[in-house]
Structures are given as structure tokens and as C-alpha cells.
Structure 1
């Protein structure tokens, strides 16, 4: 058991979390989305009437209607506000955990959106006004589609919900791209093993370069790689691959 705990501690200590990339690029993006969502909710709470009539914004596309949803998505668990907040908190912590450990820059795009959406809604519950029935802890929703597509006109949401929905779309897109690349790599491996091995080597070297450059912020000056050096090295790897293909 002691060996197991020691191995876990060593793994966590030595793991490359690419903190530099997450602090320089991801965190500002997440904070921007969270702040934008909270500002939009504050404006709606100040300027609109709770449970009032819908207001057209873009005709036949989207409008505004201010409601407070005490439940989760689609009003689930609306009568169990404590359970809803507990689940939302666990989901947010789970997403933050994924954010901490993931180091693929493409998968970080939807994770950033999901963390921003989940965290913004959780924060929003802390200060949102009570419903007309006096229930506290709900989340402000105000966007409503004015067209019917699988019941879209019956769903009222907010920007944080939109971030999560966009994240799901990005995940589907990434999965499709990965599936296509896997097929291309499989064909390449069967057709020309040497070409595949060279391609795989370039791919791995690019990932290593990315992880090394974005490993941490505090690096000794003599070991520090500038952003221009990083870009140049990345371009050189791309050039190697292009030159290899030209030789065929």
C-alpha cells in the first residue's frame, strides 16, 4: 500500500500539467466567458421583469424572456434545489480535475468552454434573485429560440448553457476529425510503413515540443525557450514532413 501511495505521489509530482499554456491561454479565456455570462445575467435581472412576456431580439430566431430556473438543464430536479446545487458542484469539480490533467490543446478547447459554463452557472446561483415562489439558489435564464427544432422553442437558457452546448459540438467535431485522421493513418501505415513511421515521429516530436515549451512558467533563463523559438521549431518540423512528401 505504501508503494502504491508513493507511486501515485511520484506520478502527480512528475506529471507535466502544461501550466504555462493553461495560465497564459486557457485561464484568461475561461475568465472572459464567466464574466461575460455573469454580466449578461446581471443586466437581465436589472432591466427585465421576472416571468414576464418574451421580447423579440432577432425575429424568427432568438428572443429574451427572463425566468429563474431552480433546477438543472430543462428544469430537472427543480423541487430539489439542494440536490441540484450539489450535483452542479460535483460536475464543476470533475471538469476542473479534467482541465488540470488534460494536456492536448485541442481537447482543452471544449473543456475550457465546459468549465466556464459550469462554473458561471454555479456562481450565478449564489446571487440570483428568488423565484416568484420565494425559492432561492436558482439560475437566471433569458435566451429563447423562436423557431421549433426538436422542441427548441420551449427551452430557455443562458450564455453559460450556450458555452456547454458549443463544447459538445466541438467535441463531436474533434471526434470526427480524429476518426478521419485515424483512417488516413491506417491507410498510410498499410500503404507505406516508412512514410507512416516518419509521420508518426514528426507528430510525436511536435507534441513533445508543445509540452516542453508550455511545461511551467518558472524556468531557468539559460533553459528558457522563447515563443519565437517555439514557433520556429514547430515550423521546421512541418517543413521536414513537407520535404519528405515531396521526395516520394
Structure 2
């Protein structure tokens, strides 16, 4: 399983960082380009907070330190779980997605102080908060982890 997880981690991290570099180099900050009218834009945003702008208004120095420390703790905790539960394939896959996403956003926080977001889905005037490949990896990883925990709990009952 380890032979597939390291390449998965590497590919996800590469795609995340490459797409962010492309956006930073080809868009002006807050520039929007329509991709699918009425549904999807590419919009260059720098998110100082966490998901949905959480803590975006906090003092910048404290916010930066908080997110760096929390991210390092989270990466270490998930890496420990991956090490302990590596034989559970779906769970290990989930942890790898989560770690790859966390590392991708961690890189942004360390080098830029904010996270580059650019995927902007919307319907009419309602816009889902912009996100990136790392956020997607974390979200998909959490969904697979919940599925695995649910399936594991059901198998324990039988």
C-alpha cells in the first residue's frame, strides 16, 4: 500500500502547487474568468483564514502562528494515524488525501501567509466559497474516512 500512497501524495501536492502557481502568474488578484456560465469561474483569491474565511479577521501575526501550529499538529496526528492504520486500505487512502491537502495549504501559509483559492462554483448569485485542489483533497479524504468508519462500524456489529 505504501508504494501507491507516496506517489498519490506527491501527485496531489504537485497538482495543487502547480495550479496555484499558474493562477498567481496568469491572474490579477480578484480577477475572474468565466468557465461554465452560471456555474463555474476561476477567480484568484488569497484567503487569510481557514475554511469559509474562518478567523480571517484575526490579527495577522497571531493568525499566521495559529494556522502554522495547528496545521503542523494536524499533519502529525494524521500521519500517526496513517502509520498505525496503514493496513486499512480505504482509511490509509483517506489519510493520504488529507495530509496532501494540509501540506499544500501549509506551503501557501508559510510562503505567502495566505492560501491561494481559485475554484469558484455558483448558482445564480449564490457562490460557494472559493477553494483549491488541496481543499478538495482534504474534503474528499474526510468523506472517504467517514465512509470507512461507517463501514467498519457496521462490520463490527455483525
Calculate the TM-score normalised by the size of structure 1: 0.56
Q: Does 1:69 align with 2:52?
A: no
1:77-116 Cα distance to aligned partner (Å, 9 max, x none): 2222221222122112222222222221121111110010
| Contact 2:29–2:44 (CA under 8 A) maintained in structure 1 | yes
Are 1:60 and 1:146, in contact at CA under 8 Å, matched by a contact in 2?
yes
- How many residue pairs match? The answer is 151
Match of 1:174 among 137, 143, 148: 148
> What SS does the aligned partner of 1:157 have?
coil
Change (3 A) 1:94 1:180: closer
Q: Which runs of 5+ in 1 are unaligned?
A: 1-20, 129-136, 187-248
Alignment match, 1:85: 68
Q: Which has the higher contact order (CA 8 A, sep 6+)?
A: 2
The residue correspondences of 1:2-81 to structure 2 (distance < 5 A) are: 21-22=1-2, 24-52=3-31, 54-78=32-56, 79=58, 80-81=63-64
- 1:175 and 1:92 map into 2 onto residues whose CA distance is 19
Tell me which structure has the larger Cα radius of gyration. Answer: 1
In structure 2, the partner of 1:94 is: 77
- Alignment partner of 2:120: what SS? strand
Structure having the larger proportion of residues in helix: 1
More strand per residue: 1 or 2? 2
When the two chains are superposed, the root-mean-square deviation of aligned CA atoms in Å is: 1.9
Separation in 1, partners of 2:150, 2:144: 10
Give the drift of 1:55: 1.9
- For 1:112-131, what aligned pairs fall within 5 Å after superposition? 112-128=96-112
Unaligned runs of 5+ in 2: none
What is the CA–CA distance in structure 2 between the aligned matches of 1:63 and 1:96, rounded to whole Å? 34
Q: State whether residues 78 and 99 of structure 2, in contact with CA within 8 Å, keep that contact through their aligned partners in structure 1.
A: yes
Residues 77 and 83, structure 1, Cα contact 8 Å, conserved in 2: no
Residue 123 of structure 2 corresponds to which residue in structure 1?
A: 147
Distance in structure 1 (CA, Å) of the matches to 2:135 and 2:151: 25
Give the Cα–Cα distance (whole angstroms) in 1 for the partners of residues 69 and 142 of structure 2. Answer: 22
SS of the residue 2:123 aligns to: coil
